[in-house]
Structure 1
């Protein structure tokens, strides 16, 4: 148990360093800002390049592949924590109704289509394929690495050990292609006047491009709820 704790600590330190390096790169490199590549994705790409299966420089432990299925539980458990505000249904629909309907339609369509493909079509060509394969593609594309890890872990518990890796692969492909193609589509839509909030990409504030908020625009992130006395006695 102690060895596992040390491995987690080492892995956490490495991942934190990668995120810091990625944040610095994103705040300085213009092309990454224009593509809106998040620091987490950039740090993951650096970690993949320097990890075991490429340059083999970073000493990640063998337990790192298990973290995602555990951390997604924390994410779901804390998702609805926060300040409580009363918002009317009409206001909510006016502000986010179009995005909600588009995202919902895309999610339902992907799950329905690829489950049918995975269950009915792929087994005709690949006799030994697991019928859950069709669920992993939309899990990665729609839900990202967290959902792919959760569903992959469930399949792994049922004896399909490769499910998590397949789901994470789909999630990575979906994230990278979504960012690159998404930015291209957004740029085209902005130039044609289809967007509501901005008419030019250059109008976006600098903090959205660099990921760093200027000193004069910074605000408090919360209030102290725990007495320091309880932390020292």
Structure 2
């Protein structure tokens, strides 16, 4: 039986690598796209439009995928955003924006996905964390981003506890700087060889969701490369 994976943010640089990895592993890949921004041309994923900042819309998206495919074996949550800021210049509006992009999108996806998995025999939940969320030195100048990402670690731990006995596990992958065209453009003087490749992150996520990784209940996977 072909496994079903839902990948939010599947059209991004990391998302594309994760789509390719799960497709190569034989999964039926479902990707989400912001309404009005479906990918053009052929892709390895079946895309659905979803405003994941809206709880009802996110839940309806999960319902739609499950109604069509019967279950969810894995959900990879990559939707998010980035912002600079420190304690001096980060106000509530800045924080609220990051919370909606990085935490609420994940929570609104993970909650109905967890409920579905509890009914259909289990599954894997994988969140995209960030090093500034667990390293204060890196987070002090990316405060709204770091705080919003930090909640994912607590959420994942709680879901792991809630999933015991239901064959549901939750993990957070924590990349350092990802080697993408936008990052190269923004940091042209950096040593790109030290950055982690999207494909490396994708393979780690693939292993987490594989039969070989089935016994794992590790909460956090740090993927830092040489940086």
TM over 0.5: no
Question: Normalized against structure 2, the TM-score is what?
Answer: 0.27
Determine which structure has greater relative contact order: mean sequence separation of CA pairs < 8 Å that are 6+ residues apart, divided by chain length: 2
Larger helix proportion of the pair: 1
Decide which structure has greater strand share. 2
TM-score, reference length from structure 1 = 0.26
The structure whose Rg is larger is: 1
